[in-house]
Structure 1
Amino acid sequence: MAVTVETLEKLERKITLSLPVATIQNEVDARLKRLARSVKMDGFRPGKVPLSVVAQRYGYSVQYEVLNDKVGEAFAQAANEAQLRVAGQPRITEKEGAPEGQMSFDAVFEVFPEVKIGDLSTAEVEKLSAEVTESAIDKTVDILRKQRRTFAQRAQDAAAEDGDRVTVDFEGKIDGEPFQGGKAEDFQFLVGEGQMLKEFEDAVRGMKSGESKTFPLAFPEDYHGKDVAGKTADFLVTIKKIEAAHLPEVNEQLAKSLGITDGTVEGLRADIKKNLEREVKFRLLARNKAAVMDALVAKAELDLPNASVQAEIARLRDAARADLKARGLKDADKADIPEDVFRPQAERRVRLGLVVAELVRANDLQAKPEQLKAHVDELAASYEKPEDVVRWYFSDRQRLAEVEAVVVENNVTDYVLSQAKVNEKAVSFDELMGQA
């Protein structure tokens, strides 16, 4: 039968559905009979409950289920016949004045939009490039040495300096009153590495073992401890021990301790370079992909289905509540977070998803099997047993779907870069690694 689709506004559509009352009643009777064979009720043996009693108890809920199922089937069939791409769930309401023997329903819903992508050759994209320098390798070696440093107690008259590990007792008071978390004994930290607030480090730097000092400390307005944020405390700190750091030499022993097969410094630096180049590649890809997506969205024209935006807002809100819960906020799952906080991000995600899907469809940019395999191999390369990681990815459909999404995005990125006006820009290793 022909399906009449009424356009309400933009992406909103309406279909009127008709169902024979007899079809619904027959299904209700069939389900009640099946229920009567298994239902347990006081005063009756199992399977011997009269159908009239079962209908009295369960008739309303069974009829509700049948209506839901039958109307849902009718809507799916109608939408399929009209070749509609439905976004979200329809709002279904019963209509008055249906012909005798029929029930009528209005289904109001949204469809996915037509996506128009403009001329990509006029789009401008800044494409970054970066190289792993000897300086970057040197810094990484220093980090690895710091991770393996040892400490030895310094002389009694030695003053604490950057790089030293100090053991202290401290107590802080605000307006003469102690506060939670403001007192500790035998507390250790490394001077000059940002583990403590600057005023605390400045006070300790230059002190000797056995010395005490009182100093003011102003907590930042955004300090994680809300009770003290923005307030000034008076701290008494006593140095109990000062230990100097000893960093291992860059030699074969260090290389072997880091798992370098040939145990040479050259092998260590080559391994570091390979790992840094992999990280640089992924960071450049992420940054350039973001630039491509910005250019792509700017070239696209489409209306957004509100159902998709609302669903994305709900996902973002759930994620925010989960994050608050992980941070220890009480009743985080009930936190009243306004929708408007998430709307811009949700709208961008929905818009980008629709635009990317259209570009993939129109230009055959789906992930090919060999691309999936190559990407998984690359992800696995930095692990000790790459073959186990490859097997882990390919053993789970969900994990592979995540890889597939990344490969599709990479295909879209490459396609847009091949079409757009690309402005190449070289950045330093430090600049790239410092970018969020």
Structure 2
Amino acid sequence: MQVQLETLSSLERRMNVALPLSVIDAQVAERLKRAARSAKIQGFRPGKAPMKIVEMNYGAQIREEVLGEQVQQGFYKAVSEQKLRVAGYPRFEPVAEAADAENFRFSAVFEVYPEVKVGDLSEKEIVRPLTPVSDAEVDKTIEILRKQRTRFSRTERAAQEGDRVIIDFKGTIDGVAFDGGTSENFPFQLGQGQMLPEFEAGVSGLKEGETRNVEVSFPEDYHGKEVAGKKAVFEITVKNVAEAQLPEVDADFAKALGIADGDVEKMRAEIRKNVEREVKRRLTARTKENVMQALLDATEIELPKALIQMEIGRLMEQARRDMEARGMKVKDMPFPPELFAEQAERRVALGLILADLVEANKLEAKPEQVKALVEEFADSYEEPADVIAWYYASPERLEGPTSMVLEDNVVEFVLGKSKVKEENLAFDVLMGNNA
């Protein structure tokens, strides 16, 4: 086998390979013999057809298979000998050289992995957010749990903030009804921002059976473009007003949250534990994001186009599956690759940087680290032992926890090399203003 390597750019290479035709011909002949033993050819009993007839029927296909295998094997053997790290898949092209009757020649165009050199991290300032969990955060969480269990009871008084109302409404613009402007038995809760402020203000103060005309100005950036920036008049009739009733924080409430004996203090302790776990998870994610950005900022790296295209393909398929899981029909929906390009580039860059850091600094996930993380996962379930057993029943199931531990090791390594600035982060901000 003859190999010639050309450098097309900093990452792109062309490898020209010559394979002896004698080797290819010998393999084709051997496979034809094997095929002849069981070949079913019209006019001959199985295995009795002359070799020339077998070759006429199967020769082209077998030769194509042998060539494909020899090209693959020849390429990867040459790559191994040259000690090249191929990024993505090569593009094979035949080379026509009539003067060479002894070799089958082909070329392979491919990219190699770039050299990764992480820059100086000692001057990088990385923010590590801190969010303490106090009784106030536990109380906020309990309030959320109470609101999730809100019941509504009919009242004869006028509607006010917090009430659930059921209304009929008909909207017109310049006296003409418009799409989406009419509904019957429409429920919503006042004060939750479900409707435009002017609309809610018009409903507030009405009793069951009362009607009011309300003028509403749609914002310029309103999602319904046909009404954006226009004024509408809504005739609103209230059909039901119901007062919100939150459950008391008592034994029944505790039992509803899974505390068998209804002990409120046990309930608070369990809620605190869950809140602390979620706060830790979110803080870890934010710190990890800050570390990853610091690594990207500190490292200059040229990315193989093949890896970016592969990652774009993965992201597109993931988006398609996510949308299908939500019941959306996306079979023929186009997914422009450019929408995923930036995310793909970031993921490829981080993958290369992390792989280099792990190998250079021996940051691989240790079995005891993976076990500790799995046990942490399991602790939030009723039967932790069953969850742990599930993870360890298959090596594939441990891939997720192992990757997380590996990333955590990188995070701790980078924080140890850089300037860490601890900043307090409000609980409500950390939780996405859901509290």
When normalised by structure 2's length, the TM-score is 0.88
5 Å-filtered alignment, 1:1-12, equals 4-12=4-12
Task: Give the superposed CA RMSD.
Answer: 3.0
Q: In structure 1, what is the equivalent of residue 146 of structure 2?
A: 145
5 Å-filtered alignment, 1:2-401, equals 4-32=4-32, 55-56=55-56, 59-97=59-97, 99-155=100-156, 158-173=157-172, 181-217=180-216, 233-322=232-321, 333-335=332-334, 337=336, 339-401=337-399
Change over 3 Å in CA distance of 1:131–1:24 after alignment to 2: same
- The 1-side partners of 2:187 and 2:346 are apart by 46
The 3-state SS of whatever aligns with 2:170 is strand
The 3-state SS of whatever aligns with 2:253 is helix
Of the structure 1 ranges 182-191 and 104-113, higher mean CA displacement relative to structure 2 is found in 182-191
Query: Quick check: 1:172–1:182 contact (8 Å CA) kept in 2?
Result: yes
- The 1-side partners of 2:212 and 2:382 are apart by 50
The 3-state SS of whatever aligns with 1:297 is helix
The 3-state SS of whatever aligns with 1:382 is coil
Q: In structure 2, what is the equivalent of residue 404 of structure 1?
A: 402
The 3-state SS of whatever aligns with 1:188 is strand
Equivalent position amino acid for 2:125 in 1: E
CA displacement 1:303-351 (0-9 Å, x = unmatched): 21111112112223333445566677765644151x4433222222111
Change over 3 Å in CA distance of 1:352–1:231 after alignment to 2: farther
Query: Quick check: 1:322–1:332 contact (8 Å CA) kept in 2?
Result: no
- Quote the offset at 1:379 in angstroms: 1.4
Q: Which ranges in structure 2 are unaligned for 5 or more consecutive residues?
A: none
- Quote the offset at 1:288 in angstroms: 0.5
The 3-state SS of whatever aligns with 1:117 is coil
Equivalent position amino acid for 1:299 in 2: A
CA displacement 1:93-143 (0-9 Å, x = unmatched): 122326322111112211111111122222221111111122211111111
The 3-state SS of whatever aligns with 2:421 is strand
Q: In structure 2, what is the equivalent of residue 426 of structure 1?
A: 424
CA displacement 1:163-222 (0-9 Å, x = unmatched): 212122233456666555544332322222233444432332221100123334455666
- The 2-side partners of 1:231 and 1:61 are apart by 70
Equivalent position amino acid for 2:411 in 1: T
- Quote the offset at 1:358 in angstroms: 0.5
Query: Quick check: 1:324–1:332 contact (8 Å CA) kept in 2?
Result: no
Q: Percent identity?
A: 50
Change over 3 Å in CA distance of 1:60–1:305 after alignment to 2: same
Query: Quick check: 1:321–1:333 contact (8 Å CA) kept in 2?
Result: no
- The 2-side partners of 1:221 and 1:330 are apart by 31
Q: Which ranges in structure 1 are unaligned for 5 or more consecutive residues?
A: none
What is the total number of aligned residue pairs between the two structures? 433
When normalised by structure 1's length, the TM-score is 0.88
The 3-state SS of whatever aligns with 1:116 is coil
Query: Quick check: 1:133–1:429 contact (8 Å CA) kept in 2?
Result: no
- The 2-side partners of 1:320 and 1:230 are apart by 34
